[in-house]
Every structure is written in C-alpha cells, then in structure tokens.
Amino acid sequence: MSITPKERCLIVSIREQAMVLLRGGQIVDRFVISTSKNPPSCQADSFGTPTGLHCIGDKIGTGAPEGMVFKGRVGTGEHFNEVSAEAAAGNLITSRILRLRGLEPGKNQGPDCDSYARYIYIHGSNHEDRIGQPFSGGCVEMRNPDVIRLFEQVQPGDLVWIA
C-alpha cells in the first residue's frame, strides 16, 4: 500500500480520548473526543471504533446550524434540544459529519471491516457531557463547536490515524 503524505493529518488516541490536527507536521489544534464504549474493532457490527489509517471521505453539513441533527447524512431541521426525549437518549449525529474511509485493505477497507460501509464518522454529539470518555457506537464524537471548527480546517483526502 502506498499512501501519499498530506499537508494535514488527524491523529486520534483512543486511550487518551483525544485528537490532534497536524499541519505540516506541527500540532495546530487539539480536541477532546469520545470513541466507542465497546473495545476498538474494525469488524462490521462490532460497534467498536476502527483503528488504523483512514482518510476523510466526505464532508457533510456545510453551513448547518450548530446542534442540527442529521439522519441518513441529511439535516432534519431540528436542533438536538428539539427532539423527543426518546430520540435524545440515543447518540445523535449533530452539527457536522466527516465520513471516514479506511485505507488498509483487509483491516478497515473491504468485506466485513469497511469503515466507509460501516458509516464511521467524526461528528458532533447531543451528549457533550460524555465527551472525554468512551461512549459512542463506533464513531469519533466531539463537542459541537469543536467539530465545526475542525470541519473548517480539513478537506476530503486528509489522513486520519486512529490508534
């Protein structure tokens, strides 16, 4: 596998529940995150955060209001404070979506392990109080202002290393 280095790269630490944005090899931003409550896993239906090398496949939500809920990668028009108590109990996808594409065939790309097919995202959360501890269903969750700030600094194709 040959990967071309990029100007920007995200490094996600599952152990530290933290992520840094590198530009030109220098840390330019830091974020507290939440990864999966299940152990890390690249397997389909594991609900674990996949490890290894990824890239940003899609950027979704440009210009959406902070806290906007997304379903099927489409804004619902509702802020997470406007949804039913039942819906709010779950992990909602809010504000912005960075959809990840695995770059390691047989690990996080391909049958039974494909991060893109698993809809693994970096996204905002309606449970900002849980950011900093493992809680997600496999995605990398962030506080809403943080995911908006990150969204403005990255582009499709930027690398994401999850370990």
Summarize pLDDT for 123-143 with one digit per residue, the tens: 999 999 999 999 999 999 999
* One-letter identity of residue 108: N
The CATH number of the domain holding residue 71 is 2.40.440.10
Query: Does residue 3 lie in a domain region?
Result: no
Query: Does residue 62 lie in a domain region?
Result: yes
Task: Tell me the pTM.
Answer: 0.95
Query: Does residue 12 lie in a domain region?
Result: yes
Q: Report whether pLDDT(2) > 90.
A: no
Query: Does residue 1 lie in a domain region?
Result: no
* One-letter identity of residue 83: V
Range of 39's domain?
Answer: 8-162
pLDDT on residue 136: 96
The percent of the chain in helix, strand and coil, each rounded to the nearest 5, is: 10, 40, 50
Return the H-helix or E-strand segment holding 20: strand 18-23
Could you give the percent of the chain with pLDDT greater than 90? Answer: 94
Query: Does residue 2 lie in a domain region?
Result: no
pLDDT on residue 96: 98
Mean pLDDT of the chain: 96
Query: Does residue 87 lie in a domain region?
Result: yes
The count of residues in the chain is 163
> Are the C-beta atoms of residues 109 and 102 closer than 8 Å to each other?
yes
Q: Report the Cα–Cα distance between both ends of the chain, in Å, rounded.
A: 19
